C-alpha cells in the first residue's frame, strides 16, 4: 500500500455505519493526530506538511477524513458534529496507544477539545495544537453572528441553507441538523480543563474565526498551560510557508524535540 493510499475502518452501528479513510505513517511517539476543518480533508496543505514533518523526523502521524468529507463515506449534508467526534474517538482509540498530540485546524480545533475532554481520564494526550480553533462555531460564529433572520428562518423551515464559500466553488450547505446537533457539544459558558498543554495559533486578519474568538478560548482555559501566538498578517488558512514553519515548530516543541 502506497504512502498516500488510505486504509479504512468502520465507525458506527447498523444503518449508521460509516467507512472512514485514514492514513497512518508509523514512527516514534508522541503520535500526531491531525483533525481537519469543516469541509476540509486530510490532503490539505497543513495536513500534508505535518505528514512530511513526521516522515522526516520518524514521528508517527495519523490523519483521517470525517464522514461526508474526502475519501470517507457519507453525504456531507447528512453528517454533523456528533458523527465527526465519534469518528475522531474511534481513530484515537484504535491507533493512539501512547502519548498523542492532537493537531486541529478550525473546526478540527473544536473536535480536538471535545476529544481531549472525552478521553481525558485515560491519560494518552500529551498536548493540543489548535490552528484558528472554531470552538462552538455552529452557534457562536454562524447562528448568532453571521446568520440573518432570513437565513435562520430558511434553516428552521426548509432544513438547509446554501452558504457561499470563499474556499470552494460549491457552497457550503448548512443544515438544521448541524445547528441543532452542534448545541449538544458547546464548550463556552463554563471553564474548560484539558489537563494538558494547549498551543493556539491565530491569524489577526482571519475573517472566519476572529482573533477575539481565539482569545475567548484562552480565557476559558484558566487551569491549563496555554500559549497563544497571534500572527499579525495571518488569515484563516495559515498555510503560507511562514505559517507552516510556525505550526511545525510548535509541534516540535510540544513533542519535546
Instruction: Give the residues across from 23 on adjacent strands.
Output: 63
Is residue 180, in this structure, part of any structural domain at all? no
Q: Per the domain annotation, does 156 fall within a domain? A: no
**210 within domain boundaries:** yes
Q: Does 175 fall in a domain?
A: no
**Cell numbers for 58:** 520518524
What is the per-residue pLDDT across 49-82, written as a single tens digit (0 to 9) for each? Answer: 999 999 999 999 999 999 999 999 999 999 999 9
What's the rounded mean pLDDT across residues 221-231? 98
The mean predicted confidence, pLDDT, of the chain is 95
Cβ neighbours around 218 below 10 Å, total: 16
Residue 150: other Cβ atoms inside 10 A:
9
Q: Check residue 85 and report its DSSP letter.
A: H
Judge whether residue 3 has pLDDT over 90. no
| Beta strand 59-64 pairing with 100-105 | unpaired
pLDDT top residue among 121 and 133:
133
Q: Read off the pLDDT of each residue in 202-227 and give the average, rounded to a whole number.
A: 98
Residues 134-158 pLDDT 10s: 999 999 999 999 999 999 999 999 9
Q: Is residue 242 part of a domain?
A: yes
CATH of the domain at 112: 3.40.50.1820
Q: Is the pLDDT of residue 224 over 50?
A: yes
In a domain, 202, yes or no: yes
Q: How many domains does the chain divide into?
A: 1
What is the pLDDT at residue 147?
Answer: 96
Is 240 among the domain residues?
yes
- Radius of gyration for the alpha carbons in the chain, expressed in angstroms and rounded: 17
Q: Structural domain of residue 123, as residue ranges?
A: 7-135+188-255
In a domain, 149, yes or no: no
pLDDT of residue 165: 75
Amino acid at each position: 500500500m502506497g504512502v498516500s493510499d488510505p486504509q479504512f475502518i468502520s465507525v458506527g452501528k447498523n444503518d449508521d455505519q460509516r467507512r472512514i479513510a485514514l492514513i497512518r505513517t508509523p514512527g516514534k511517539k508522541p503520535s500526531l493526530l491531525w483533525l481537519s476543518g469543516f469541509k476540509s480533508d486530510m490532503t490539505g496543505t497543513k495536513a500534508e506538511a505535518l505528514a512530511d514533518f513526521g516522515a522526516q523526523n520518524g514521528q508517527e502521524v495519523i490523519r483521517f477524513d470525517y464522514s461526508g468529507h474526502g475519501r470517507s463515506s457519507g453525504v456531507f449534508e447528512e453528517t454533523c458534529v456528533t458523527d465527526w467526534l465519534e469518528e475522531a474517538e474511534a481513530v484515537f482509540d484504535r491507533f493512539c496507544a501512547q502519548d498523542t498530540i492532537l493537531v486541529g485546524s478550525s473546526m478540527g480545533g473544536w473536535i480536538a477539545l471535545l476529544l481531549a475532554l472525552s478521553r481525558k481520564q485515560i491519560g494518552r494526550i500529551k498536548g493540543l495544537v489548535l490552528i484558528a480553533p472554531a470552538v462552538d462555531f455552529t452557534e457562536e460564529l454562524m447562528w448568532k453572528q453571521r446568520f440573518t433572520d432570513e437565513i435562520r428562518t430558511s434553516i428552521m423551515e426548509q432544513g438547509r441553507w446554501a452558504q457561499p464559500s470563499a474556499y470552494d466553488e460549491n457552497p457550503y450547505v448548512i443544515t438544521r441538523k448541524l445547528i441543532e446537533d452542534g448545541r449538544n457539544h458547546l464548550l463556552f459558558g463554563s471553564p474548560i480543563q484539558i489537563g494538558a498543554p494547549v498551543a493556539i495559533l491565530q491569524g489577526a486578519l482571519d475573517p472566519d474565526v476572529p482573533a477575539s474568538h481565539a482569545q475567548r478560548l484562552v480565557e476559558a482555559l484558566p487551569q491549563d498551560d496555554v500559549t497563544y501566538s497571534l500572527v499579525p498578517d495571518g488569515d484563516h488558512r495559515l498555510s503560507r510557508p511562514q505559517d507552516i514553519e510556525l505550526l511545525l515548530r510548535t509541534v516540535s516543541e510540544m513533542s519535546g524535540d
